[in-house]
Amino acid sequence: MEITLRPIAFVKNSRSTPIDDNWKEIITDIELAEHIPTEAFESISQFSHLEIIYFFDKVKNEDIVFSGRPRGNPDYPLVGIFGQRKKDRPNTIGLATVELLEHKGRTIKVKFLDAIDGTPIIDIKPVFREFEPQGHIKQPIWVADLMKNYW
């Protein structure tokens, strides 16, 4: 089975290369694609946070992996691709929960999106508190070390 998707929007920001850290200061504009009507953003400003699903369009097929040490760090354990958030994934799809800063016409301005300039957006969903994880979130110790400079 093959799935065909069309971008609904595109990222506009100052980050042109996929660097792993220091995303906190990056403010991103997400501009709707021409085929998406402006009313798709109707009432979006009623939400503080959004989920952005995007496509890592710069990842080459030969870079896709199914396991490895996160960031190639020998101090981290060998982890399957579905146990980490690496961009070199089988379907090269990214997901981020962002803070919505502003909505103007065909553009929204967000913070905490780790996507580079020009990245195609596949979908945008508002964050509902009721869909957030219920209970304690468990993760391995190495994740906190990996993420210490990410945001």
Domains of the chain: 9-147 (2.40.30.70)
What pLDDT was estimated at residue 17?
Answer: 86
Tell me 110's DSSP state.
Answer: E
What pLDDT was estimated at residue 52?
Answer: 98
- Asked whether the beta carbons of 124 and 30 are under 8 A apart, the reply is yes
What pLDDT was estimated at residue 26?
Answer: 94
pLDDT tens-place string over residues 89-109 = 999 999 999 999 999 999 999
What pLDDT was estimated at residue 18?
Answer: 81
Please list the ranges in the chain whose pLDDT falls under 50: none
What pLDDT was estimated at residue 22?
Answer: 76
What pLDDT was estimated at residue 20?
Answer: 77
What pLDDT was estimated at residue 117?
Answer: 97
- Asked whether the beta carbons of 65 and 124 are under 8 A apart, the reply is no
- Asked whether the beta carbons of 52 and 98 are under 8 A apart, the reply is yes
Beta-carbon contacts of 64 under 8 Å, excluding residues fewer than 6 positions away, are 88, 89, 90, 92
